[in-house]
Amino acid sequence: MRRGDGPEALSGRTPPAAAAVRARREDGPRGRSSGARVPRFPEVHVDVAPSEEDTVVALLHLGGARGVEVRDASTLVRAHRTDRVTLVAAFEDECAARNAAARLRALGWRGARFGWLLGDAWRDGWREHFRPTRIGARLVVHPPWAPWTAADDDVPVCIDPAQAFGTGTHESTRLVLRELDRRIGGGERVLDVGCGSGILAIAALRLGARGATAIDVDPEALAACRENARRNRVASRLRVCATPLDRLRGRYDTIVANIEARVLLELAAALTERLAPGGALVLSGLLRGQQHEIRASFGALRHVATPVDGDWVALVLAR
């Protein structure tokens, strides 16, 4: 998943060794500085053909990269060109980064370039873009640092994503929020699979759902979800846990899952199993075109709608 600078911006497709990219995000600024242009991290950027990706990632690691972020047409932060893969390698050491860029150029990747990630914008810049946003007829999502004065029919949802995904600024989240805004009438049991910040489960509860369960594989997401539930005064109706989907019991009237296509395919049987008769399942995180394979793997369910937002689509299915 992806986009500009923000927690969501770093959700690009990353190879296993890209853990260092994530750690970089969590480390916070090194030292104290208010300088927006202070060099923070040495980086190497290089555009490669898709078939060269594995080779160049390996070369970057051999050269000392602590992590390599992979950007292509399917990631939230896109490659520079649609037919190329952009690799962004993070280094701790300037000399190693300069050498790695030079070595790649010598091997034929002439565009490989050394640079510095500047200032603290990587950490906080996304906040400027997270403003109160109306989504659907009732929901208004806003961050704690931009309070919202609700009009009569507004349903405000206050979200600080911390290190998790889910501000409502991304198309894949907005697609689900619109469906919740339209479909939650009151009293539903809701399951949010891959809750991230908790935005979807919390929005459903604020719209009147009776209770919700939110699960995620990321402990930081679970922590953010719990905190946001308290912030929105719905914690008593929200169960937040790391229980795998196939270990959950019970059936749900509304299930939302904004996760990438590959994971949705893996979870197809378990998601179908948990949907109550008459219930709605909203799948998101799909790029245009991916919905066909996903739809086929949920064959036991009826197709209701395929809402689109930019390059992203969701699938609404029903039992």
Ligand X SMILES: C[S@@+](CC[C@H](N)C(=O)[O-])C[C@H]1O[C@@H](n2cnc3c(N)ncnc32)[C@H](O)[C@@H]1O
Residues that bind ligand X (CB under 6 A): 1, 164-166, 173, 176, 193-196, 199-200, 215-218, 221, 245, 258-259, 263, 285
Instruction: Give the nearer residue to ligand X in terms of CB position, either 62 or 217.
Output: 217
Residues 24-33: contacts with CB within 8 Å, 24+ apart?
24/66, 24/67, 24/90, 25/122, 25/123, 25/163, 26/163, 28/123, 29/120, 29/123, 33/120
Instruction: Give the nearer residue to ligand X in terms of CB position, either 46 or 212.
Output: 212
Query: How far apart are CB 122 and ligand X at their closest, in Å?
Result: 19
Instruction: Give the nearer residue to ligand X in terms of CB position, either 84 or 178.
Output: 178
Instruction: Give the nearer residue to ligand X in terms of CB position, either 165 or 298.
Output: 165
Query: How far apart are CB 134 and ligand X at their closest, in Å?
Result: 17
Contact 114, 41 (CB under 8 A): no
Query: How far apart are CB 207 and ligand X at their closest, in Å?
Result: 15
Query: How far apart are CB 19 and ligand X at their closest, in Å?
Result: 14
Contact 52, 96 (CB under 8 A): no
Q: Which helix (H) or strand (E) holds 224?
A: helix 219-231
Query: How far apart are CB 1 and ligand X at their closest, in Å?
Result: 4
Q: Could you give the CA distance from residue 137 to residue 155 in angstroms, rounded to a whole number?
A: 9
- 134 φψ region: left (φ > 0), alpha (ψ -120 to 50), beta (else): beta
Query: How far apart are CB 272 and ligand X at their closest, in Å?
Result: 15
1 closest CA partner among 257, 219, 215, 222:
257
Instruction: Give the nearer residue to ligand X in terms of CB position, either 2 or 61.
Output: 2
Q: Cα torsion at 306, 183, 157, 286 (round to 10°)?
A: -20
Instruction: Give the nearer residue to ligand X in terms of CB position, either 119 or 161.
Output: 161
